[in-house]
Amino acid sequence: MKNILTIAAKELRSYFVSPVAYVVLTGFLLLGGWFFFNLLARFNFLLSLYTSMKNPEAVTRLNLNDFVIAPLLHNLSVVLVILVPVITMRSFAEEKRSGTYELLMTSPLSITAIVFGKFLGAFVFALIMVLLTGVYPLILLLYGNPEIGIIASGYLGLLLLATAFISVGLLTSSFTENQIIAAVSCLVTLLLLYIISWPADTSGEVMGAVLRYLSLTEHFGEMVKGVIDTKDVTYFLSVIVLSLFLAHRSVESIRWR
């Protein structure tokens, strides 16, 4: 456990001593702030529009959860698809390229500790990213009255999503010593998981159900709506566990290749 924490701390430190972490965080928060402020402006515009049109039915449908938080979280998830590969691409690939990988492999650390330590470091980084965006719902809670349960479930969804992304990123980084290849293959995998359910409604019943189940958006969407289903949590945990297991196997392969 101590080894894992040591590696995690080293990993996290390596993010923050290089400009990458700051560029990623700045970009993420810049986009997030822009989304949030404009969604909030649109909400207020709709409210005044419906009120002036004397449309009481539409006014009762207006709520911060559906009109600000949900689109904000969906937009952030798309940004994560693009930014997470940038964070994780270096984790193994960089070490392979710079030659420190050999050192790591010949150290008394177990492979499980290496993989899990790197994962933990990246996870804390993702946690920081998600927590920093927490300022938006805090503003809403300060000045308004959104439903807090839906916000909590949506943020849990965003964190699970980011964690799943990170483990996929670690996996692709473990395959190669080229950071570009690591980032692009992670991006492609994540995008594929993101859009895989598109043909679900028009394909057969079983095929549709499988595609829908494989899709990140379907599971994430449920949590953004305010529903925590054990099925969705199982899915996210499976993606995380499977990616880490395969990354473990991939790292281990250097010992016999």
CA distances from 187 to 126, 173, 221 (A): 16, 11, 20
* Two tokens, residue 177: 């010593």
Q: 1 or 17: whose CB is closer to other proteins?
A: 17
Least distance to other proteins from the beta carbon of 241, Å?
7
CA distances from 126 to 16, 30, 65, 165, 169 (A): 13, 16, 23, 10, 12
Least distance to other proteins from the beta carbon of 127, Å?
15
CA 68 to chain centre: 19
* Two tokens, residue 91: 């984790």
Q: 98 or 253: whose CB is closer to other proteins?
A: 253
Q: 1 or 206: whose CB is closer to other proteins?
A: 206
Least distance to other proteins from the beta carbon of 2, Å?
27
Q: 49 or 241: whose CB is closer to other proteins?
A: 241
Least distance to other proteins from the beta carbon of 162, Å?
17
Residue 188 corresponds to which amino acid?
Answer: V
Least distance to other proteins from the beta carbon of 6, Å?
21
- Please compute, for residue 251, the number of CA atoms within 13 A of its CA located in the half-sphere on the CB side: 28
Judged by the rule CB under 8 A, the positions of this chain that interact with other proteins are 16-17, 19, 21-23, 25-27, 29-30, 32-34, 36-37, 40, 43-44, 47, 59-66, 132, 135-136, 139-140, 143-147, 149-150, 152-153, 201-202, 205, 213, 225-231, 234-235, 238, 241-242, 245-246, 249, 252-253, 256-257
Q: 153 or 176: whose CB is closer to other proteins?
A: 153
Contacts for 36 with CB less than 8 Å, ≥ 6 apart: 68, 72, 136, 139
